[in-house]
Amino acid sequence: MGFFDRLLGRPGAQADKRVGWFAKAQNDLDRYGDEYADLPDEELAETAAKLFTLEDRRESLTRYAALVREAADRALGERPYFTQLKGLIGLLDGMVVQMLTGEGKTLVGAMAAAGYALQGRTVHVVSVNDYLAARDVEWMRPLFDLLGVTAASVGESDSEESRRKSYTQEVVYASVQEVGFDTLRDRFLTQGQKPRIAQRDVVIVDEADSVLIDEARVPLVLAGTASVEQVDAEITRLVAGLEAGKHYELSHDRTAVSLTEAGIDAVEEALGVDLYGDDAETLAAVNLALYALAVVHRDVDYLVVDGSIKLISDSRGRVADLQRWPDGLQAAVEAKEGLTTSSSGEILDQMTVEELIQTYSTVCGMTGTALAVGDDLKEFYDLEISAVEPNEDVIRIDEPDRLYTYQESKERAIVDQVLEEHREGRPILIGTRSVAESESLAHRLKQRGVEVRVLNAKDDSREADIIARAGESGAVTVSTQMAGRGTDIRLADDEARDAGGLLVIGAGRYDSSRLDDQLRGRSGRQGDPGTSVFFTSLEDELLTRVPEIQRFVEDGDETGFIQSRKAAQLVEHAQRMAEGENTGVHRDTRRFNDLMSKQRKQVLSRREAVLTEDYGIDELLEKVRDRDDVKSAGDGAVREALRDILLFQIDDRWVAHLAFLNDLREGIHLRTLAKERPHEAFNKESMAQFSQFWSDVMASTEDVLEEVEFTSDGVDLPAVGMKRPSSTWTYVAAESTFGSDIESVVKRIRR
């Protein structure tokens, strides 16, 4: 870390200040280690429990590191490297720790979780899916047992009873979605019910950049009461007949689409409407159908499996089972594919992953790629990064990108390269950006007589087996981003090692350099030999966004290869632009979510006051005190009944308010054509609506009071239509249709 970096406060500068001391504590560490090496197991736990009561915080931490190194060695047969202990200190200091693939972050996370638990904290370790949560807790259980720390995992299929029990443990492993869903479910407690999650204290986030940045904006949704979205078949048919370029055009980044003058005329004539007059509903329907047609692609963004749509996660390349688009778009894509419309639900409550994470008192995490999102982590979470060097030096060779003119020449070049290296027995992993690309490359390779194993969202049944064998000599594996994160590809034999180790070929840069780095990181683990290289073409989506680079099409040789430093720089530039846009969209959605989240908090605290402090009850009681039924029912029963009614009305009103906010947000770019900026218009309208929240609740409560009869058993709420949904379900909403850069969409439509 140079002087200037420190001066400029670059990522890492803070980390040096906060955890740098530990590098100099090796002598103490070893001295304490000798002390603990002689302790029998029982005394190890006893000692651990007392460590954090020491006055000197650094001594506590150093002693804990020494003790847990001994404990892990005994319990798991793996003695943590010094680098892992550095990572541990970073986590215990509330930082995001960057450690490369294969450095053993699972163990680092577990040591930190136990460390927090020993300080009397409760800890959630969140991972990207249920499978990893269950795997990690079982893997690490001997360590927790030895330290006297209780641990459990929670998964989607767990019963109510078992998940309640799991949440009482000191350390809980779960996917971020599962914790979010349970937090949402907890929101509707009525009298006498206990929350599932008593508190959100410490969260340790595995694959932190993926969860905290890439998935931060994803809304977790709790829904009830099914309903079916209606799609106008005529609009679907009409839009399917429109021509790209003539009737509609895509934005340069292909995330938005709009009608041209000719398109508007064609639609207006066919439907006999004035689109930009006051028929906002038809305009919205046409936009959705157009978006479904031109922006969302089968086998890239989604699959059709057994008559239903399965979304493919952008950053993971696998099917995102819990995910659906906002209702309108989901229905439009189903209509485009000629499928029956699936039922959607009334949204009872929702929160983003970012909002969830921010309810924890302490946030920390680990990932192989943190520095690249250092600014975002600081901006959105106020998190610092501690970059830990690898235990063994990385000797992998990262070759410069090879740029080609067309997709065709690029794929040919990849195949030639594979054939050449395959002959030497070298294991090869090809990372593609879509299911379609993985199939095309696999097909070409098979035609040339190469046996390939394909791993993509369409078939993940053999995932574990394919990954386990990907490091064998002669193995050729083609995979979408699925293999790019968390997977452990080990060189299986000396032949593979002698042939140069794993060769990773990227069939195109991703939108984020972190995904590239995660893919490269499959090779060269713990000092293994390896090579990585990316092939790109001017036709790659990322590059079509940069007009300046397209002129290099003339510089290609007979194979389509472009040798130019300038062009290579433009590839980097394209990626940085995409990353910047992503941060922009994050900031943008955040501005919308902030307000929703503030209003949500206010409602929740009112609700809590009603539940525990009789807020509003006396006022209501005054209004009915003189009624005969109230007199004979008795004060206690009436108060309880009033509370139930009030809680119901608050929840009911919130559902309506959420629907209002979601509609407002989807349509805000249309509403603001005239003058205002979308965010300001959104804020103004939503605040105006929200200012009436409480008086609306009181008014509807009074209406109910006129209809009900109080008895000593309370009131029959369902009889007056106050029924809570009999079943609820949860899903993850894919990003909002027009979530992408709203201002630019507005500008385009205005034009």
Residues at the contact surface with Mg ion, assessed by CB under 5 A: 105, 486
Give the contacts of 672 (CB within 8 A, at least 6 positions apart).
Answer: 678, 681, 746
Q: Write down the least CB distance from residue 144 to ligand ADP, Å.
A: 16
Question: In the bound complex, which residue of the shown chain has the CB atom lying closest to ligand ADP?
Answer: 104
Q: Looking up tokens 């630019």, which residue turns up?
A: 744
| Span near ligand ADP by CB under 6 A; candidates 75-83, 159-167, 261-269, 507-515 | 75-83
Query: Is residue 106 part of the contact set for ligand ADP (CB under 6 A)?
Result: yes
Pair of tokens at residue 681:
């218009």
Helix 635-671 vs helix 693-707: angle between axes, to the nearest 10 degrees? 130
Q: Which of residues 473-492 bind ligand ADP (CB under 6 A)?
A: 488
Binding mask 165-204 for ligand ADP (x = CB under 6 A): ----------------------------------------
Residue 148 touches which of ligand ADP, Mg ion, none (Cβ within 5-8 Å per kind): none
- Comparing CA positions, the residue from 439, 447, 450, 488 lying closest to residue 466 is 488
Q: Does 80 bind ligand ADP (CB under 6 A)?
A: yes
Nearest CB to ligand ADP, comparing residues 208 and 715: 208
Residues 86-105 within binding reach of ligand ADP (CB under 6 A) = 99, 101-105
Identified binder of ligand ADP from the candidate list 22, 36, 52, 81, rule CB under 6 A: 81
Q: Which is nearer to ligand ADP, 282 or 386 (CB)?
A: 386
Does the annotation flag 488 for ligand binding? yes
| Nearest CA-CA partner of 437 in 404, 459, 411 | 411
Residue 518 or 593: the one with the smaller Cβ distance to Mg ion is 518
Shortest reach from residue 353's CB to ligand ADP, in Å: 20
Contacted entry of Mg ion, ligand ADP, none for residue 420, CB cut-off 5 to 8 Å set by kind: none
CA–CA dist 102, 24 (Å, integer): 25
- Please give the angle made by the CA atoms of 708, 710 and 712, to the nearest 5 degrees: 155
Q: How far is the CB of 75 from ligand ADP (least distance, A)?
A: 12
Judged by beta carbon distances under 5 to 8 A according to partner kind, the member of ligand ADP, Mg ion, none in contact with residue 703 is none
Q: At 188, which amino acid appears?
A: F
Helix (H, G, I), strand (E, B) or coil at 634: coil
Q: Find out whether 24 is annotated in a ligand binding site.
A: no
Give the nearest distance from C-beta 80 to Mg ion in angstroms: 15
3-class DSSP state of 673? coil
- Rule CB under 6 A: which of 486-525 touch ligand ADP? 488
Of 106 and 456, the one with the shorter C-beta distance to Mg ion is 106
Q: How far is CA 468 from the centre of its chain?
A: 26
Q: Which stretch binds ligand ADP (CB under 6 A): 79-87, 340-348, 659-667, 675-683?
A: 79-87
Query: Applying CB under 6 A, does 22 fall inside the site for ligand ADP?
Result: no
* Minimum distance, C-beta of residue 523 to ligand ADP, in the bound complex (Å): 13
**Closer by beta carbon to Mg ion, 438 or else 487:** 487
Based on the shown chain and the rule CB under 6 A, indicate whether residue 78 belongs to the binding site for ligand ADP. Answer: yes
Q: Closer CB to ligand ADP, residue 127 or residue 593? A: 127
Residue 390 vs 725, nearer CB to ligand ADP:
390
Binding site annotation covers 340? no
Nearest-approach distance from CB 516 to ligand ADP, in angstroms: 17
Of 99 and 293, which CB lies nearer to ligand ADP in the complex structure?
99
Please identify, using beta-carbon distances, which residue of 515 and 645 lies nearer to Mg ion: 515
When asked if residue 252 is in the footprint of ligand ADP (CB under 6 A), the reply is no
Note whether 470 binds ligand ADP by CB under 6 A. no
* Nearest distance, CB of residue 207 and ligand ADP, angstroms: 8
Closest approach of Cβ 206 to Mg ion, in Å?
6
Q: Out of 31, 57, 79, 591, name the contact with ligand ADP by CB under 6 A.
A: 79
User: Residue 215 Cβ, how far from ligand ADP at the closest point, in Å?
Assistant: 18
The token duo for 468 is 């386990």
Of 159, 100, 167, 155, the residue nearest 129 (C-alpha): 155
**What 3-state class would DSSP assign to 555?**
helix
Quote the least distance from Cβ 142 to ligand ADP, whole Å. Answer: 13
- Nearest approach, Cβ of residue 474 and ligand ADP (Å): 23
Query: C-beta of 526: minimal distance to ligand ADP in Å?
Result: 7
102 appears as a binding residue in the annotation: yes
CA distance 204 to 220: 19
Q: Total number of residues binding ligand ADP (CB under 6 A)?
A: 14
Q: Does 148 bind ligand ADP (CB under 6 A)?
A: no
Q: What angle do CA 163, 107, 510 make, to 5 degrees?
A: 90
Any alpha helices (H) in 373-462, and if so which ranges? 374-381, 407-423, 435-447
Amino acid symbol at 36: Y
**Cβ 136 to ligand ADP shortest distance, Å:** 8
- As beta bridge partners, residue 459 has 456
Query: Which of 217/525 has CB closer to Mg ion?
Result: 525
- Give me 586's structure tokens: 């994050």
Q: Is 103 annotated as a binding residue?
A: yes
Q: What are the beta bridge partners of residue 714?
A: 711
Q: Is 104 annotated as a binding residue?
A: yes
- Assess contact for 456 and 482: CB atoms under 8 A: yes
- Does residue number 389 form part of the binding site for ligand ADP (CB under 6 A)? no
CB-based contact 256:748 (threshold 8 Å):
yes
What is the 3 state secondary structure string of 230-277?
CCCHHHHHHHHCCCECCCEEECCCCCCEEECHHHHHHHHHHHCCCCCC
Distance CA 573, CA 506 (A): 18
In the bound state with ligand ADP, the residue whose beta carbon lies nearer, of 151 and 746, is 151
Instruction: Quickly list DSSP for 107-173.
Output: HHHHHHHHHHHTTT--EEEEESSHHHHHHHHHHHHHHHHHHT--EEEE-TT--HHHHHHHTTSSEEE
List the single partner that 488 binds among Mg ion, ligand ADP, none, CB under 5 to 8 Å by kind.
ligand ADP
Applying CB under 6 A, among 44, 85, 97, 107 the residue interacting with ligand ADP is 107
Q: Which of 56, 87, 54, 55 is nearest to 72 (CA)?
A: 87
Q: Which does 506 bind (CB under 5 to 8 A by kind): Mg ion, ligand ADP, none?
A: none
Instruction: Name the DSSP class of 174.
Output: E
84 is known to lie in a ligand binding site: yes
Please tell me the distance from the alpha carbon of residue 332 to that of residue 229, in angstroms, as a whole number.
Answer: 9
Residue 84 three-state SS:
helix
Say if strands 343-352 and 219-228 run parallel, antiparallel, or are unpaired.
antiparallel
State phi, psi for 349 to the nearest 5 degrees. Answer: -165, 160
Location of structure tokens 């969830």: 356
What whole-number distance in Å separates Cα of residue 744 and Cα of residue 721?
45
Binding residues: 84, 102-106, 488
Binding site for ligand ADP (CB under 6 A): 78-81, 84, 99, 101-107, 488
Binding positions for ATP:
84, 102-106, 488
